[in-house]
Structure 1
């Protein structure tokens, strides 16, 4: 499917999975409005996409731990476009370490703020633009760490807490926004292979060799979900862990 008539917002698109998503949507014709914590990082991805021949891409700074920065991001997008069709909540700081005491208090606050508070405020401030669309979707990259009983990741407790908050938020958001025509789609991947599927040598290591979920597969899940007719509501993707 092409996305020529879609306007897509991607948070934390300065590198890794967010960058891959921004490039793929641009390649499929969407107008992409991407953010990164620093404007320079967002502009690098914007310029890379334009260098690939796709000009409808715009870069913004957005620190998901800072409410004012999120408001400014949404306001800046609203000055450029009159609607957003897809909001992808990709931003969330990963924090490693199974020992609760192994990180600083600031690390804990930053992790929970970026994943939990940042997601909530992004949806809040982009909601008017989403409701102006006739095909609004909110996609959130949660994590298997946000599912009850999951314990197979080496992520820090604060990351588990942030993802559990995201899961609870998207659950109630789905119920409350569906009557307004907004689909809320959540992905719950385990730790996955986040190597760049757009690099020239990505296929040199067959996925069968590692049996690990890849970023490319997650991108395809998102594209599949948002491409469905509006009567098809794919609420979530859960994955068997290798």
Structure 2
């Protein structure tokens, strides 16, 4: 796969799967605008990209729960490039808690604002840069929590609300931007692990999710992959004794 010269912005790229995704794009030749709430974390990812030696990276602070920070990041992108090929809406803070009253009000505001509102506020100004690309893609790392009827995750209800809102935004944007040739690609992974065996009865790994993203954006322009939805492991491996399992 050759993504030489591709200009990619990734939010929430200071750690874990966001860092892996930013690095993966750079490993295939892209120039990556790395953003994270903590600028030092973003710089760590950008430095790792530079040391690997193929693609290039620049670091930016972007707190998706702060409209001013989102606008500043969008303005910084416009200052550095006349177009953007891929926007990856990855940043989102996970929120634990089974009951609505398990967390403080500010945690709920930050979760919904950073995930749903932040995605809308960043996509809005960046669309002008995407329209300047010959091959524009928007990738939304949503979550199985954004699927209607999915109740498996132990996330707080506010996280479910944020992801459902993000999914609704992605769906209508896919419909409306299709006529412009802008692909909107959404992924709905269940809870996944950063590392592990990539086996049929193992947990979904971050690398497998990243591979789906790279596959989708590398397809010819007649191929609009709108969504990736994933099965979860729900039972024992065939042949495993089931005594005592319910």
Shared topology, TM-score over 0.5? yes
Distance in structure 2 (CA, Å) of the matches to 1:232 and 1:33? 25
Shift of 1:35: 0.2
User: What's the counterpart of residue 220 of structure 1?
Assistant: 211
Q: Quick check: 1:236 aligned with 2:227?
A: yes
Distance in structure 1 (CA, Å) of the matches to 2:222 and 2:198? 33
> Any idea what the Cα deviations from partners look like across 1:138-190, whole Å, max 9, x if unmatched?
00001111111110100000000000000100000001111111000000011
Shift of 1:210: 5.8
Where do 4+ consecutive residues of structure 1 move more than 2 Å?
Answer: 205-210
Distance in structure 2 (CA, Å) of the matches to 1:153 and 1:64? 23
User: What's the counterpart of residue 51 of structure 2?
Assistant: 51
User: What's the counterpart of residue 78 of structure 1?
Assistant: 78
Shift of 1:206: 2.3
> Considering only aligned residues, what root-mean-square deviation do their CA atoms show, in Å?
1.2
User: What's the counterpart of residue 149 of structure 1?
Assistant: 149
Structure 2 alignment gaps of length 5 or more: 234-246
3-state secondary structure, aligned to 2:199: helix
Call closer, same or farther: CA 1:143–1:55 in 2, change over 3 Å: closer
Shift of 1:194: 2.4
Q: Aligned pair count?
A: 233
Q: Quick check: 1:177 aligned with 2:168?
A: no
Structure with max Cα Rg: 2
Distance in structure 1 (CA, Å) of the matches to 2:154 and 2:211? 26
The TM-score, its normalising length taken from structure 2, stands at 0.92
